[in-house]
Amino acid sequence: MQVKETNTDFEVRSLDSSCPNSSELTHPWWYNFKYLLAGILFGVILTKAEVISWFRIQEMFRLQSFHMFGIIGSAVVVGVISVFIIKKYKIKTIYGEEVHFEDKPFNKGLVIGGLLFGFGWAMTGACPGPLFATIGTGATVVIVTLVSAIAGTWVYGLLREKLPH
């Protein structure tokens, strides 16, 4: 039986075999160091924004502070404007490639998986980005939480066919 593989993953693009932008450039591996630098920047911002604080997350979900909502809200506003400008003026990447966007369809995982992640977010006080940053700040026990998150991803992969999507 042929299983139709539909990519529901928003963050992974190379898996789209039918991706119309398949002319993606191939670069030597060390070109990836620019993403390391971008990551360092992101890690510094997340830490200085206190987004990685367990206490800030508890505060957010108890509606006791505007801080987190202000951060996410203003980040989205800046993101929306940036994407709008890139689309409108057809701004190319530094390699002259067209910037590619694609919309992913609705699937039940957005709600079920979303709720489960919400539970985990409140418990650990960290979404995936902050997990990495918190370890960097020296909270070594969070390594256990990260390994557990990797295990969770693995179990999802194992059960994927049996889960409603």
Partner 1 sequence: MTEWLQKPWPWYVAGPLIGLMVPLLLLIGNKRLGISSSLRHICAACLPAKIPFFQYNWKKEAWNLFLVAGVLIGGYVAANFLSSHEPVLVNEKLLSELQQYGITNHDGLVPTDIFNWPALLTIKGLLLMVAGGFLVGFGTRYAGGCTSGHSIMGLSNLQLSSLIATCSFMAGGFIMANLIMPFILKL
Q: In the window 24-83, what residues touch partner 1 (CB under 8 A)?
A: 24, 29, 31-62, 64-68, 70-80, 82-83
Min dist. Cβ of residue 128 to partner 1 (A): 4
- Out of 28, 90, 138, 162, the only residue in the binding site for partner 1 (CB under 8 A) is 138
For residue 92, list its beta bridge partners: 98
Among 4, 88, 105, 162, binds partner 1 (CB under 8 A): 105
Among 14, 22, 28, 89, binds partner 1 (CB under 8 A): 14
Question: Residue from 1, 2, 15, 18 that binds partner 1 (CB under 8 A)?
Answer: 15
Task: State CA 131 to chain mean position distance.
Answer: 12
Does 6 help bind partner 1 (rule: CB under 8 A)? no
144 binds partner 1 (CB under 8 A): yes
Q: How far apart are CA 46 and CA 3, in angstroms?
A: 40
Q: Kindly state whether residue 16 participates in binding partner 1, applying the rule CB under 8 A.
A: no
Kindly state whether residue 150 participates in binding partner 1, applying the rule CB under 8 A: yes
82-101 mask for partner 1 (x: CB under 8 A)? xx-xx----x-xxx-x-xxx
